[in-house]
Amino acid sequence: MVRELDERKLKILKAIIKNYLDTGEPVGSRTISKDTDLNLSSATIRNEMADLEELGYIIQPHTSAGRIPTDKGYRLYVDILLEDKTQEVDDMKNILIEKADKLENLLKQVAKLLAANTNYATMVT
């Protein structure tokens, strides 16, 4: 998926959506500044929020309010969550395949050792 947002804007958008889902209240720059590890000033966050608003990811319900996500913002948030989960599943699948290969090789080696030490035929299925 091609994204028009840099990493900082994505983190701010995710923080806005998460906070809004938790509280149901518009989210201000000060809240984002306090609740995230971005180490940005409220003014910098307000500038990034203005960009997110211009791009259609958030809106400001009235002049003195914080921001709330739009449908476009929610869609991107869900896409990011799905992307993250898909990557996690792929990583787990690769680990399991690697472990299964190692287990198969281990069992073959055990069978060879048993055969060599007992002088009996062994079979791994």
Residue 102 sits in a domain of what CATH number? 1.10.10.10
Report pTM. Answer: 0.67
pLDDT at 66 over 50: yes
**3-class DSSP state for residue 69?**
strand
Domain of residue 33, residue span: 7-118
Write out pLDDT tens, residues 70-107.
Answer: 999 999 999 988 888 888 888 888 887 888 888 888 88
pLDDT of the residue at 112: 87
> For residue 3, what pLDDT is reported?
63
Look at residue 20 in the predicted model and tell me its pLDDT: 96
Measured CA to CA, the distance from residue 122 to residue 30 in angstroms comes to 69
With beta carbons less than 8 A apart as the criterion, state whether 39 and 47 touch: no
What is the model's pLDDT at position 2? 41
pLDDT: is 57 or 124 the higher one? 57
Q: Please check whether residue 124 lies inside any domain of the structure.
A: no
Q: What percent of the chain has pLDDT over 70?
A: 98
For residue 125, tell me if it sits in a domain: no
